[in-house]
Chain A
Amino acid sequence: MAKNYTSKKRTIEDLELIATKIREDIIKSLEKAGSGHSAGPLGLADIFTALYFDIMKHDPKDPTWDQRDIFILSNGHCAPVLYTTLAHAGYFEIAELSTLRKFGSRLQGHPERERLPGIETTSGPLGCGLSQAAGMALAMKINKDYHRWIYCTLGDGEQNEGNVWEAAMLIAKYNLHNVIAITDRNNIQIDGTTEHVMPLEDLRAKWESFGWHVIDINGNDIDSIIDATAMARSIVEKPVMILAHTIPGKGVDFMEGDYHWHGIPVGIEDVAGAPPKNEQAKSALHQLRTLEGKIRSEHE
C-alpha cells in the first residue's frame, strides 16, 4: 500500500531550521556522551535533513515498511547525525539522544541493526556499506521491485578501503542504478587531511573510470542535495555517485575544517583555536542557534 509520505512539503527555510536543530542535538548528545565523533556528523546534517525530511520514502511509524527507500550509513562513526535525524523524524523520542554511547542504550557508539528501529545495517568498520547496498539492489532486481532507492553515504577517507572499489565495480557491472551513493567529501580523516594521509584526487575521475556518473555538489546546501538526488534518480544508464563537498564541523567556527575534531566531542580537551573545554559546548550551541545571525532561531 502506498503511503502519503510527502504530505508535508517543506520549504528550504524549514529544512534549514531542522538541520540547525539536528546540529544542536548532535553537540548536546556528544557532550553528554563524553566521547564520539563531531566533525563528520555536523558536516552531514544538511544531507541527512534533506534525505529524511524531503527525499526518502519512509515511515517512522513503520520502519520495516516493505516499500521504503533504504539508507545505509557506511561511515558508521557518523552515527550521531543518523540517530539525531531519526529522532527528529519520529523514529524515537528526542530525549533518548541523551543516552548516546551509555551502557544499556539503544544508541550504541556505532549503529547496530538489531538494537534500534530505522538502522538498516550495523556499521562502524569502514568500507562495507556500498557492497551491502549492492546486495540489496540485486535482491530488488530479482524481486522486480523497481520503485525503491538505496541511498548510501560514505566517508572520503573511507575510500582508502579496497572494499569500496570492489563494490564500485560490481554495482557498475550490474548497472544497479537505484543505488545512489553520496560521498562526504570533507577532506579530513583521522591522521590528517585526506590528501596528506592517502591522496584521493582525482576522485571524480576515479569514480567515472569505474563506470559511475558523478555529480559534484555543495553538500551543505539543501537545495543542491535535493536537486542532485532527483537528477540521480533520473539517470538510468549508470549508477550515480554524488560527491558532496561538505565542511567538517559545519556551523561551529572552531571545528570547521579542523581534523582534530574528527573523533572527539566538545568538553573533553582543549584544542588550539577553540574556546577552553568547559566553554566549547556553550559557544557551539550559541553559534548554531543563531548561525551567526544568518538563520532565525526559536531560541532567539
Chain B
Amino acid sequence: MNNLHLVDLTSGEVKMEPIRKGFGRGLLEAGKINDQVVALCADLTGSTQISLFAEAFPERFIEVGVAEQNLVTVAAGLAAMGKIPFTSSYAAFSPGRNWEQFKTTACINNQPVKIVGSHAGLYTGPDGATHQMLEDIALMRCLPNNVVVVPCDSVEAEKATLALAADKRPGYIRLARDSSAVLTTDKTPFEIGKAQVFSEGSDVTIVACGTMVYQALQAAEQLFLDGIDAEVINMSTIKPFDAVTLIQSARKTGAVITVEEAQINGGLGSAVAEALGEEFPVPLKRMGVKDRFGESGTADELLNHFGLTSSHIAIQAHAIVKNK
C-alpha cells in the first residue's frame, strides 16, 4: 500500500490482537538473540505475556511475587552486573508503585532496566479506575535517561521490545490488555526515537500513540470523504521525542490534534504542546482523558465515554480546520 508496508485497513476484516502479545513474542526472540536478557515478574506471568520467555528460559526468569518495588530494584542489581532485565506487571503498579525506585536505581544509575507496563489505559476495561493506568506516560516521560515507547499494535510491540533489548538505557514500554487492530506488518520499520507519518495530508496533523493510532487513521478516512486531508503521525516513541517530524508536519498543515488513551496532563499531548510552543506554535487540540479517573466498562464503552473514537477525532479536526 505504501513504503511503510502498513495493513490496508479499507479492505476486508481487520486483524485484532492484544498489544501485550507482541511483547511476549518479542521478549522470547530477544532471549534467543542475547543470553544476557533476563525477565522478572510480580505474580502476573500469564497476563503480562512474560510467560513465553519464562517457559523457554526458566533459568533466566525470576518470580518476585506481588512486590513491585522489589521487582525493579532487583532488576537494577541484575543490570549492574551486565544483564538486561525486563520486568513486567500491570502499569498501574509498575511504574505506578515503584517510580522512585526506578528513578534512583535504574535512571540515575543509567542501567538498562526495562519496565513493561501491561494493562495500561482504557483497554483494561472492567477492572476499573485502580487498574486503568492513565498517568504512566507523564510519569515516565519526565525521567532523564529513560526511553518511553507506546507501540500502536502487537506487531510494533514485538519490534519495540527487540529494540529496547538492544538499547543500553532504562526503558518503559506501554501495553494494552484487550485486542486492538493490527495496522503494521513485519516489514514496517521501527526505530526508537523516530515518529512515522502513517498517512500523508495537508490540512491537519493528527499525532497519536498506542491504540489511538488506529482511531486516528479511521478518522482520516472519514475526513477524506468530508474533503479534509489529514496527516496521521504514529508517535510511538514519546521519549526521546521526535520534534523534527512533528514540526515538519505542523509547518505543512498549520494545525495539530493529539490523541492518547491517557491523562491529558503530562502525556503525548503535553510533549507535542511543549515542542510546538517553543518552536512552531500552531492551533492545537489535545484529546485524552480530561483530568478524570477511568471506570469499569468495555473498551468501546470507555472510548466513547471519554470521547476518544474516530468520530470524536473527526469532529475536532473539522473544528480546528475551520478556525485555522
- Quick check: is A125 within 8 A (CB to CB) of the other chain? yes
Q: Tell me, in angstroms, the Cα distance from A145 to B164 when the chains sit together.
A: 55
Q: Which residue of B lies closest to A190 (CB)?
A: B43
Residues of chain B within 8 A of A198, CB atoms compared: 43, 63-67
Q: Tell me, in angstroms, the Cα distance from A125 to B69 when the chains sit together.
A: 13
- Quick check: is B127 within 8 A (CB to CB) of the other chain? yes
Among A102, A122, A162, the residue within 8 A (CB) of B296 is A102
Q: Tell me, in angstroms, the Cα distance from A144 to B163 when the chains sit together.
A: 59
Residues of chain B within 8 A of A123, CB atoms compared: 130
B interface residues, how many (CB within 8 angstroms)? 32
Interface contact B46-A105, CB-CB below 8 Å: no
Q: Which residue of A lies closest to B300 (CB)?
A: A103
Interface contact B97-A109, CB-CB below 8 Å: no
Known A-B contacts A101-B126, A109-B126, A189-B43; the reply to A127 vs B295 at CB < 8 A is no
Interface contact B126-A158, CB-CB below 8 Å: no
- Quick check: is B93 within 8 A (CB to CB) of the other chain? yes
- Quick check: is A135 within 8 A (CB to CB) of the other chain? no
Known A-B contacts A103-B298, A125-B96, A191-B45; the reply to A160 vs B65 at CB < 8 A is yes
Known A-B contacts A124-B127, A197-B43; the reply to A189 vs B66 at CB < 8 A is yes
Known A-B contacts A36-B126, A190-B43; the reply to A197 vs B301 at CB < 8 A is no
- Quick check: is B297 within 8 A (CB to CB) of the other chain? yes
Residues of chain A within 8 A of B129, CB atoms compared: 108, 110, 112, 122
Interface contact A160-B66, CB-CB below 8 Å: yes
- Quick check: is B302 within 8 A (CB to CB) of the other chain? yes
Interface contact B128-A108, CB-CB below 8 Å: yes
Residues of chain A within 8 A of B97, CB atoms compared: 125
Interface contact A103-B92, CB-CB below 8 Å: no
Chain A 36-76 interface 0/1 with B at a Cβ cutoff of 8 Å (1 = within): 10000000000000000000000000000000000000001
Interface contact B43-A191, CB-CB below 8 Å: yes
Known A-B contacts A112-B128, A124-B131; the reply to A160 vs B67 at CB < 8 A is yes
Among B70, B93, B131, B302, the residue within 8 A (CB) of A110 is B131
Whole-angstrom distance between the Cβ of A18 and the nearest chain B Cβ: 27
- Quick check: is B44 within 8 A (CB to CB) of the other chain? yes
Residues of chain A within 8 A of B92, CB atoms compared: 125
Interface contact A102-B130, CB-CB below 8 Å: no
Chain A 111-155 interface 0/1 with B at a Cβ cutoff of 8 Å (1 = within): 010000000001111110000000000000000000000000000
- Quick check: is A226 within 8 A (CB to CB) of the other chain? no
Q: Tell me, in angstroms, the Cα distance from A103 to B305 when the chains sit together.
A: 10
Q: Tell me, in angstroms, the Cα distance from A110 to B97 when the chains sit together.
A: 17
Residues of chain B within 8 A of A107, CB atoms compared: 296
Residues of chain A within 8 A of B295, CB atoms compared: 103, 108
Q: Tell me, in angstroms, the Cα distance from A76 to B97 when the chains sit together.
A: 16
Interface contact A110-B130, CB-CB below 8 Å: yes
Q: Which residue of A lies closest to B302 (CB)?
A: A103
Interface contact A191-B63, CB-CB below 8 Å: yes
Q: Tell me, in angstroms, the Cα distance from A158 to B67 when the chains sit together.
A: 9
- Quick check: is A157 within 8 A (CB to CB) of the other chain? yes
Main secondary structure on chain B at its contact with chain A? Answer: loop
Whole-angstrom distance between the Cβ of A65 and the nearest chain B Cβ: 26
Residues of chain B within 8 A of A162, CB atoms compared: 67, 69-70
Q: Tell me, in angstroms, the Cα distance from A286 to B240 when the chains sit together.
A: 58
Q: Which residue of B lies closest to A199 (CB)?
A: B65
- Quick check: is A161 within 8 A (CB to CB) of the other chain? yes
Q: Which residue of A lies closest to B64 (CB)?
A: A198
Q: Which residue of A lies closest to B69 (CB)?
A: A162
Interface contact B127-A109, CB-CB below 8 Å: yes
Residues of chain B within 8 A of A189, CB atoms compared: 43, 65-66
Q: Tell me, in angstroms, the Cα distance from A162 to B70 when the chains sit together.
A: 8
Chain B 62-78 interface 0/1 with A at a Cβ cutoff of 8 Å (1 = within): 01111101100000000
Interface contact A191-B128, CB-CB below 8 Å: no
Chain B 11-51 interface 0/1 with A at a Cβ cutoff of 8 Å (1 = within): 00000000000000000000000000000011111110000
Residues of chain B within 8 A of A36, CB atoms compared: 126
Q: Which residue of B lies closest to A35 (CB)?
A: B126
Interface contact B66-A161, CB-CB below 8 Å: yes
- Quick check: is A94 within 8 A (CB to CB) of the other chain? no
Q: Tell me, in angstroms, the Cα distance from A154 to B297 when the chains sit together.
A: 26
Whole-angstrom distance between the Cβ of B54 and the nearest chain A Cβ: 9
Interface residues of B in 271-322 (CB under 8 A from A): 295-298, 301-302, 305
Q: Which residue of B lies closest to A33 (CB)?
A: B126
Residues of chain B within 8 A of A125, CB atoms compared: 92-93, 96-97, 130-131
In this complex, the member of B47, B66, B129 whose beta carbon has the largest number of chain A beta carbons within 10 angstroms is B66
Whole-angstrom distance between the Cβ of B41 and the nearest chain A Cβ: 8
- Quick check: is A273 within 8 A (CB to CB) of the other chain? no
* Chain B residues engaging chain A, CB cutoff 8 angstroms: 41-47, 63-67, 69-70, 92-93, 96-97, 125-131, 295-298, 301-302, 305
Given A102-B297, A112-B130; 19 other pairs, CB 8 A cutoff:
A35-B126, A102-B296, A103-B298, A108-B129, A109-B126, A110-B127, A110-B131, A125-B92, A125-B131, A127-B66, A157-B66, A158-B66, A160-B43, A160-B67, A161-B66, A162-B70, A191-B45, A197-B63, A197-B65
* Chain A residues engaging chain B, CB cutoff 8 angstroms: 33-36, 76, 101-105, 107-110, 112, 122-127, 157-158, 160-162, 189-191, 197-198
Please provide the 6 A-B residue pairs with the shortest distance between their CB atoms, ordered closest to farther. Answer: A198-B65, A103-B297, A160-B65, A124-B130, A109-B128, A101-B126
- 23 A-B pairs, CB-CB below 8 angstroms? A35-B125, A76-B130, A101-B296, A103-B295, A103-B302, A104-B297, A108-B295, A108-B296, A109-B130, A109-B296, A124-B127, A124-B131, A157-B66, A158-B66, A161-B66, A162-B67, A162-B70, A189-B65, A190-B45, A197-B43, A197-B65, A198-B43, A198-B67
